[in-house]
Structure 1
Amino acid sequence: MNRRRFLGIAAAATGLSLLPARLRAEGVPIRTWRGVALGADACLQFAHPDPAEADRLIGICLEEVARLERVFSLYRPDSALSRLNRESALDAPPADLVRLLAEAVGIGRRTDGAFDPTVQPLWQLYAGHFGRSGADPDGPPAVAVRGALGLVDYRSLRVEPGRVAFARRGMAATLNGIAQGYVTDRVAERLKAEGMGDVLVDMGEIRALGHHPAGRPWTVGLKDHTDEGRTVETLEVADRAVATSGGYGTLFDPAGRFTHLFDPASGGCAWEWLAVTVTAPDATTADALSTALSVVPEDRARTILNRFPGVAARFTRRDGSVIALRA
C-alpha cells in the first residue's frame, strides 16, 4: 500500500546552513536518512560530528525497522501477524506482537471500538470487490458487508504473553493504523538509549526527541492533501509525536467514495472528516487516535479525547474548515 503523506517535515532538512554558528564552525552536519518503512516514506535526522558513528546509529535503526517488519507486515507471508491471520492463533508470539496487540485492544476499549485492529476482513472484502473487473461502483453487497462485519470485534482477540488468538475462525487483524507509530517509537527509543537526545524520527508517523540542533523545536508541516507542495499549517514539536489519518491515503474506487478507513460499527468507509491530525506524547498513541477519530463525529471525538490527557487533535472537514480539540 502506498500511503500519501499529509505530514511533511517543513524545516528540518539536511545542510549546514540550518545549524547555529558554533556547530557550523565545528563542522557538525545534520545527518539525514530517507527510505521506506512498512510501506510509508521514512526519515531520520540528527546532528553528529562523527560520520562513522552516525552511520552506525542509522544502521541500528534500520535493523530495528527490519526486525519489526518481520513481526507486523501484512505483505510478508512469514511475518508473525500474517501467520496469526492464517492460523487464527499463534503460540509463543514475539513480544512486540503481544505488546502492540494489547495496546491496540486497550485503545479499542478506550475509544468505544472506534479503533479496532480486527477490521482486516473489511479490507479484504472491499479490496477484493474493487479488484474485480466490472465491480459495482456502489461497493460490495450489503449482505457481504454484514458478513465481514460479523468478524470484526477487538473484544474477540485474546492476547496473552504465550499466545494470541481469535475467538472465531475467519477473523484477522491489521496493525496498519498503529504499527507505523509503534515502529517510530521503538526507533526513537533505540537512539535515546545510544545517548541521542535531539532527533527527528519519521517511520510513517513523526516523533521528535528534544529540539532541532539549531536550538528551536523541530518543525512539521501539515500538507494540503490536494496539493502536497502546499503547507496549510506548521507545527513546532519537541518531545512530542504527530500523526495524520485521512481516507485519501488509499482509495478503492476512482470516485474516491470508498477508502481504507473503516467504521467498525457499520462496516462502511468513514466520511466524517477529510483528515485528522493528532499530537501526543508518543507516536503509537498519536497513530491509533488519528485512525479512531477519523470515524467518529465531533461529540464522540470530544468524549474520546478527554480520556487521553496531553493529546490534541486537528480535524479538517470536507468543506476545508478546521476545528481543534484538546484533552
Structure 2
Amino acid sequence: MDRGVKRRRVICIIAAAAGLPLFGFGGGAEAAASPITWTGQALGAPGKLILSLEDRTEAARLIDRVVAEVSRLERVFSLYRPDSALSELNRTGAIAAPPADLVRLLEASRDAWEATNGAFDPTVQPLWTLYARHFSAADADPAAPPKVEMMRALSLVGLDKLKFNRDRVVFTRPGMALTLNGIAQGYITDRIVDLLKDAGVANSLVSMGETRAIGTQPDGRPWGVGLATNEDAGTPDSILRLVNRAVATSSQDGFHFGESDRFGHILDPLSGGTPRLHRRVSVVAPNATTADAYSTAFSLMDTPAIRVACDGRADLAVDLISPSGAHARFGWTG
C-alpha cells in the first residue's frame, strides 16, 4: 500500500460511529451478531468494510475479492509503487497497451478538466515535486520556490499536453508527470461498488478514500455521512443523508509544505499557487470519481464560480466551509 504523503481523511462515517454496519444485505436483513471487519488502505487513505452476514465463509470470500481489487488498482494508479503503470509512465514518458482502468480514469480526468476550465488537472505533479524539493532544503526560502523554477514547472503542466488512447499514453514534453491522487480514490470506491453490486449487495456504504452509498441502510433510512474539516474533529460540522450517491471532500489542511500553513497540497495548475479559498469543500455526485475530481477542482475556485458550475450540473451538490467558518450549501435537492 502507499506510504507517501496523501490528503488527510476529512470524512467521518456517522453510521459506523453509531454502531451501524457499513454493509447490509437484502434490505430488511438483520445484522449478524459479530460482524466481520476489514480495515486497510486504498492509495494511502483509510478503507473499511464491516460485513454482517450469517454466511461467514461468503463474507470472508467477498472481503478477499475487495482487497485483491484494491491491490490490483494500486498497481495501476500508485505514485509510490515503482511497479505501477503510473510510475512507469512518469519514469519513461510513455507506455504502450495501458491498463483499461488508466485510460478510463484519464477520460474522466479530461471531462473534469474541460468542465472546470482547467482547475482540475492531474498533470500538476511537476509542481508537487518543485514544492517538495524546495521546502525539504535546509536553507529553503519560506516565501516560495524561485519564480524561474515555478515557471519551468508550469510549462510542464496542462492536460492538453498528454495524449492517450487505448493503445498508448504519452507525454508530449520531457519532464512531465502525472498524479491521480485527486480522482483515483473515487475511482477505486466506484470499482468496489461495482464489485459488491455484482455480488448481490443491495444496501451498503463503501469507504475507500471517498464514500459512496448503495441504496439505503437495511432498515430503509438514508446513510448518514458526517463532514469535518479534519479527521481529529470530535463532532462533524455537517451531516449528509445519502441514497445511491457519493461524497468526496478536499481541504488544504490535509498537508502543508514548509513550516507555515501557507502552502497547502492542492496545487493550482494555472498559477502554481496553493490558494486557501475554503476550509473544506465537499461534493455530492452520482459516483465517487466525479465527486473526487470536483472536490479537488472546487478547492481552487471561488464560491461564485462553484455556484456557476453547479448551476450547469443538476447532479452535483456542494457543502463548504469558508476560511471564516461560514457554512454554505447549494445545488442541494435533498
TM-score where L is the length of structure 1: 0.94
CA shift for structure 1 position 226: 8.0
Q: 5 Å matches for 1:1-327?
A: 1-13=5-17, 23-24=29-30, 27=32, 30-225=35-230, 227-326=232-331
Q: Structure 1: which amino acid aligns with 2:213? A: A
Q: Deviations over 1:161-212 (max 9, x none)?
A: 1001111111111000000000000001001001111111111000110111
Q: Are the equivalent residues in 2 in contact too, given 1:275–1:316 (CA < 8 A)?
A: yes
Instruction: For structure 1, list consecutive stretches of 5 or more residues without a partner in the other structure.
Output: none
Q: Are the equivalent residues in 1 in contact too, given 2:263–2:274 (CA < 8 A)?
A: yes
Q: Are the equivalent residues in 2 in contact too, given 1:224–1:230 (CA < 8 A)?
A: no
Q: Are the equivalent residues in 2 in contact too, given 1:14–1:32 (CA < 8 A)?
A: no
CA shift for structure 1 position 27: 4.4
Q: 1:109 to 1:51 in 2, by over 3 A?
A: same
Looking at structure 2, the residues matched to 321 and 44 of structure 1 have their Cα atoms a distance apart, in angstroms, of 33
Q: Secondary structure at the match of 2:263?
A: coil
Q: Are the equivalent residues in 2 in contact too, given 1:110–1:307 (CA < 8 A)?
A: no
Looking at structure 2, the residues matched to 179 and 266 of structure 1 have their Cα atoms a distance apart, in angstroms, of 23
Q: Are the equivalent residues in 1 in contact too, given 2:266–2:296 (CA < 8 A)?
A: yes
Q: Are the equivalent residues in 2 in contact too, given 1:15–1:29 (CA < 8 A)?
A: no
Q: Structure 1: which amino acid aligns with 2:102? A: L
Q: Deviations over 1:114-137 (max 9, x none)?
A: 100100000000011111112111
Q: Deviations over 1:228-276 (max 9, x none)?
A: 2221111111111010000111111221111110111101112111110
Q: Secondary structure at the match of 2:258?
A: coil
Q: Structure 2: which amino acid aligns with 1:185? A: D
Looking at structure 2, the residues matched to 225 and 2 of structure 1 have their Cα atoms a distance apart, in angstroms, of 13
CA shift for structure 1 position 306: 3.0
Q: Are the equivalent residues in 1 in contact too, given 2:248–2:291 (CA < 8 A)?
A: yes
Looking at structure 2, the residues matched to 285 and 105 of structure 1 have their Cα atoms a distance apart, in angstroms, of 11
Looking at structure 1, the residues matched to 229 and 156 of structure 2 have their Cα atoms a distance apart, in angstroms, of 35
Q: Are the equivalent residues in 2 in contact too, given 1:118–1:171 (CA < 8 A)?
A: yes
Q: Structure 1: which amino acid aligns with 2:123? A: T
Q: Are the equivalent residues in 1 in contact too, given 2:21–2:50 (CA < 8 A)?
A: no
Q: Are the equivalent residues in 2 in contact too, given 1:16–1:30 (CA < 8 A)?
A: no
Q: Structure 1: which amino acid aligns with 2:261? A: G
Q: 1:48 to 1:172 in 2, by over 3 A?
A: same
CA shift for structure 1 position 78: 1.1
Looking at structure 2, the residues matched to 243 and 324 of structure 1 have their Cα atoms a distance apart, in angstroms, of 14
Q: Are the equivalent residues in 1 in contact too, given 2:229–2:251 (CA < 8 A)?
A: no
Identity of aligned residues (%): 49
Q: Which deviates more from structure 2 when the two are superposed, residues 135-144 or residues 184-193? A: 135-144
Q: Deviations over 1:21-50 (max 9, x none)?
A: x855x8465543221110011112443221
Q: Are the equivalent residues in 2 in contact too, given 1:16–1:29 (CA < 8 A)?
A: no
Instruction: For structure 2, list consecutive stretches of 5 or more residues without a partner in the other structure.
Output: none
Looking at structure 2, the residues matched to 16 and 222 of structure 1 have their Cα atoms a distance apart, in angstroms, of 17
Q: Secondary structure at the match of 2:95?
A: strand
Looking at structure 1, the residues matched to 79 and 32 of structure 2 have their Cα atoms a distance apart, in angstroms, of 43
